[in-house]
């Protein structure tokens, strides 16, 4: 019999392409649109007492395309549409900066886990690209890929857990499927 790990005690989500429709370098809160099923999935986790958080690369800050204030306004719009999150972790660095927080590095997941008072093995990460799943694995967390049009076929093939939507991702984590 295969050992199934216990369900996660918290779920971290990528922001763009996972929780909200990806608008590259979005500085406009009015352009925030939830991904299908995101509000329902988050509400269900919250009702179950599961902390939810966001781990997001926002390289537009490091590239000088966005300000931290603009990103904060977009994040506030995300919360207005999808409800409050227990934790936000943001990497503001551009690629090549050499930080440990930019996914696929584990820094965002490790920091979010620590702030939640959890071991990373108790946390799951749901995202739409390989960097999200790789960050989870590098931190010792479980990762679930929910592919979109932006997801490369090789990323889907490499992901240990793949779901067609957010509800399916949560079902995989709780062994409902």
> For residue 168, is it within any domain?
yes
Q: How high is the pLDDT of residue 6?
A: 85
Q: How many domains does the chain have?
A: 1
Q: Specify the pTM.
A: 0.95
78 exposure class (CB count in 10 Å sphere: 0-12, 13-18, 19+): buried
Stretches in the chain below the pLDDT threshold 70:
1-5, 176-177
Given a contact cutoff of 8 angstroms between Cβ atoms, the answer to whether 141 and 109 are in contact is: yes
| Structure token pair of residue 156 | 């889907």
Indicate whether 1 belongs to any domain: no
- Residue 4: its pLDDT value, please? 47
The rounded distance, in Å, linking the Cα atoms of 92 and 118 is 24
pLDDT at position 175 is 77
**The domain that contains 22 carries what CATH number?**
3.40.50.1000
What is the per-residue pLDDT for 177?
37
Let me know if residue 149 belongs to a domain: yes
Length of the chain: 177
Inside any domain, residue 118: yes
**Does residue 122 lie within any of the structural domains?**
yes
Please check whether residue 62 lies inside any domain of the structure.
yes
* Catalytic positions: 14, 16
Locate 168 and state its tokens: 């399916």
> 92 lies in which domain range?
10-173
Taking Cα atoms as reference points, which of 160, 139, 121, 173 lies closest to residue 4? 173
Task: Return the pLDDT at 5.
Answer: 67
Supply angle C-alpha 89, 21, 33, rounded to 5.
95
């Amino acid at each position: 019999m295969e050992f199934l790990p216990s369900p996660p005690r918290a779920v971290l989500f990528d922001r763009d392409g996972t929780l909200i429709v990806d608008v590259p370098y979005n500085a406009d809160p009015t352009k925030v649109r939830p991904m299908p099923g995101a509000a329902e999935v988050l509400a269900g986790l919250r009702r179950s007492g599961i902390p939810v958080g966001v781990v997001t690369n926002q390289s537009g800050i490091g590239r000088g395309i966005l300000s931290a204030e603009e990103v904060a306004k977009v994040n506030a719009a995300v919360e207005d549409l999808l409800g409050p999150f227990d934790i936000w972790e943001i990497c503001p660095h551009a690629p090549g900066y050499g930080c440990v927080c930019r996914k696929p590095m584990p820094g965002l997941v490790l920091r979010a886990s620590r702030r939640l008072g959890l071991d990373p093995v108790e946390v799951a990460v749901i995202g739409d690209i390989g960097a999200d799943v790789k960050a989870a694995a590098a931190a010792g967390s479980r990762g679930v890929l929910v592919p979109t049009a932006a997801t490369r076929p090789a990323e889907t093939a490499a992901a240990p857990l793949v779901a067609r939507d957010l509800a399916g991702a949560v079902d995989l984590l709780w062994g409902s499927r």
